[in-house]
Amino acid sequence: MKKLIVAASCALALVTGSLQAKEWTEIRIAFDVPYEPFEYRTPEGELTGFEVELATAMCEEMGAKCEFVEQAWDGMIPGLLARKFDAIMSSMSITPERAERVLFSEAYYNTPGAWFGRESVDVDVTDMDAMKGLEVGVQRGTTMDTYVTENMSGIVNIKRYTTADDMVLDLEGERLNLVFVDYPVGEQTILTRDGFKQVGEPVKLGEGVGVAMRQRDTDLAEQINAALDTLKNDGTYDTIMKKYFEYDIKM
């Protein structure tokens, strides 16, 4: 009998919980650290970066208490769906495939993808004949991966990597002719080394980056959209952006 009462009250709590439009006062936000300059740790061990600061400002605007969670990229969406956290602010580009699984806020930034290679590389990346047979590295599952897969399958040999570090190592070891990565990542990890350069023009990709939430949390999405909108208009967004970027990534 006791068990039955417990079970019934649990069920009741679930039903009423999902019916109320919840005022979100505590939000757990996930980042894949490090992904400079969006989220990384300072030498003192403090979590910072463009998205971390934007998230802090957003939570302040919403009047919510935020907890920051670290989660590796592979487990991002599964972790969100398993309720390990409530939102992802880890440079997740908005794509139709992802939108099937998660709910996106309005885009809050967009960076171009860019080609990088050794100094000696001299190739026109828009000329498919010149690109034929080259080894090209991308990070698996990124919008850069989708771009190369859709436009250059069968022309270049695509190698997919889990981390940017492994990819840069293979570019150094001459296993790859070119890599196609998010411009800020390439700027931080490739251009800082000797003997590498950017090749061709950056390519604008996709619909930008949004906050990802569970499909059912439409009330949270409304609050986040409102907060981001305020930040974009009152100058807070621009102040944070100028700290990390010399170019405009605002959307």
Partner 1 sequence: MPEMIAEWLNQNEIFTATTLLHYWGGLVTTVQLVFLSLLLGLILAVPLAILRTVKNPFVSGPIWFYTYLFRGTPLLIQLYVIYYGIAQIEGIQDTFWWEIFRAAFYPALLAFTLNTAAYTTEILRGAIVATPQGEIEAAKAYGMSWLMRIRRIVLPSAARRAVQAYANEVIFMLHASAIASVVTIVDLTGAARDIYSRFYAPFDAFIAVALIYMVLTFALVYGFKRLEHRLLRHLRPVGG
Q: Residue numbers of the site for partner 1 (CB under 8 A)? A: 77-78, 97-98, 100-101, 140-141, 145, 159-162, 166, 169-170, 172-175
Q: H or E segment at 231?
A: helix 218-233
* Residue 151 CB partners (closer than 8 Å, separation 6+): none
| DSSP code per residue over 63-128 | T-EEEEEE--GGGHHHHHHTTS-SEE-S--B--HHHHHHEEE-S--B---EEEEEETT----TT-H
Kindly tell me which of 176 and 240 has the beta carbon lying closer to partner 1.
Answer: 176
The distance of closest approach from Cβ of residue 107 to partner 1 in the complex, given in angstroms and rounded to an integer, is 18
The answer to whether the Cα torsion of 229, 235, 241, 245 is positive or negative is positive
- Pick between residue 143 and residue 223 the one whose CB is nearest to partner 1: 143
Q: Minimal distance in Å, beta carbon 160 to partner 1?
A: 6
b/e for 88-98, b at 16 or more Cβ within 10 A?
Answer: bbbbbbbeeeb
Choice between 63 and 78, CB closer to partner 1 = 78
User: How crowded is residue 162: how many other Cβ atoms within 10 Å of its Cβ?
Assistant: 13
Please say which residue, 100 or 246, places its beta carbon nearer to partner 1: 100
Please state the closest distance from residue 128 (CB atom) to partner 1, in A. Answer: 21
Q: Would you mind telling me the total number of residues written for the chain in this entry?
A: 251
State how far the Cα of 168 lies from the Cα of 181, in Å rounded to an integer. Answer: 10
Minimum Å gap between C-beta 87 and partner 1 is: 16
The CA dihedral of 243, 108, 199, 193, to the nearest 10 degrees, is: 40
Of the pair 27, 168, the CB lying nearest partner 1 is at 168
In the bound state with partner 1, the residue whose beta carbon lies nearer, of 59 and 167, is 167
Report in angstroms how near the CB of residue 119 gets to partner 1 at its nearest. Answer: 15
Q: Shortest Cβ distance from residue 155 to partner 1 (Å)?
A: 17
